[in-house]
Amino acid sequence: MGKPVILTGLRTNAEYHLGNYLGGILPMVRMQQEHAGVYQVNMFAPDLHSFTTEVDHDTLYTQTMKNIAVFVAAGMPIDSQDFYLYRQSFIPAHSELTVILNNFAYFGELSRMTQFKDKSEGKSNVTAGLFDYPVLMAADILLYGASYIPVGDDQKQHLELTRDLAIRLNNKFGDIFIVPKDWKHQLQFSKRLEGARIRSLRNPSQKMSKSVSDPTGTILLTDTPEAAAKKVKSAETDSVGKINWDWNNQPGITNLLQIYELLTSNSHKEVLAEWTGRELYGDLKVAVAEQVSAFLSEFQSNLSKVDKNSLQKKLEASELEMANQANITLAKVQKAVGLRP
């Protein structure tokens, strides 16, 4: 057996925003800093997932490559031997395993996925791709036997479905899959009390999302530091008059506290001690705006330095190696289900 695996992916259908960074990218950067050497770290572009929602097919490839450069600018170490960076569609085993897993995933459980319900609501033509999204995600994870999957709170249900599928097939066929750790252990591993869920600055009852057109509520990683600071300063809050960590009654303020906590890497306790009970919302906004603009300046400077040639080489080398790993799992499954002798 090789090293245990930490794995994540972020759809590449559009520019990334602060929610993607804090929910998916930053935890991955921190985990790899902490665990490199002991764990294999896989970060990939789920390009086949990228068109489960509307996308411009003419620019998808360029967008994918741009988003992969973001991973590197954010701190993923292109030179590390334990780090693999790849594009899902370049490794055909992802699609093949999905077709097999489809026969073990139930219509009922897929219909219950909140992301499916949200993203299909009000649409006249809901695609099979959107419906099947979590099964492809399960294949992404199970092919490499990943244990830890740093993702935002919105992906919790998909992770649980992945576990259910792995356990279901293991019960039927013997131990073919490594079952990813449950949510509680995922949080423990990332030293978090709850999953990150960054809300729209305009409408804090909704998540910050690139799939929703909400330009003033969303901070894109391409926003200038000044523009981003402005968005933070005009964030929607409440009329309670005191700062509290309270998602139900003060989601706007809690969102700002959460952004502050994640960007400063202060502990939850420290953030509460610093801010709870204070009355000037403006102070919190200024502090968050400073953190956000400092982060963006540094990130954007790193992004301009990412070398395209090294990136291309890293992708090709990783894709070769990961195709080998993935094919080993796929062959096991093909044998188990009776497709191979």
Closer to ligand ADP by Cβ: residue 155 or 318: 155
Active site residue 269: no
**Residue 10 CB, nearest distance to ligand TRP (Å)?**
5
Active site residue 210: yes
Sheet of 83-87, strand order:
83-87, 40-45, 5-9, 146-148
* Count, residues in the chain: 341
Task: Choose among ligand ADP, ligand TRP, none what residue 198 binds, the Cβ cut-off being 5 to 8 Å by kind.
Answer: ligand ADP
Which residue among 47, 96, 132, 140 contacts ligand TRP (CB under 6 A)?
A: 140
CA distance 161 to 167: 10
Q: Which residues contact 141 (CB under 8 A, 6 or more apart)?
A: 7, 149, 159, 162, 180
From the candidates 3, 184, 207, 332, which is the catalytic residue?
207
- Kindly state whether residue 155 participates in binding ligand TRP, applying the rule CB under 6 A: yes
**Contact between 5 and 40 (Cβ < 8 Å):** yes
Neighbours of 164 (CB within 10 A): 16
**Contact between 232 and 199 (Cβ < 8 Å):** no
- Kindly state whether residue 49 participates in binding ligand TRP, applying the rule CB under 6 A: yes
**C-alpha dist (Å) from residue 128 to 116, 134, 136:** 11, 11, 12
Beta bridge partners of 9: 44
- Kindly state whether residue 135 participates in binding ligand TRP, applying the rule CB under 6 A: no
Contact track, ligand ADP, 167-206, x by CB under 6 A: -----------------------------xxx--------
From the candidates 3, 66, 117, 119, which is the catalytic residue?
119
Beta bridge partners of 303: none
- Kindly state whether residue 87 participates in binding ligand ADP, applying the rule CB under 6 A: no
Q: What residues are labeled active site? A: 119, 207, 210
Q: Applying CB under 6 A, which residues contact ligand ADP? A: 10-11, 19-20, 22-24, 151-152, 154-155, 196-198, 207-211
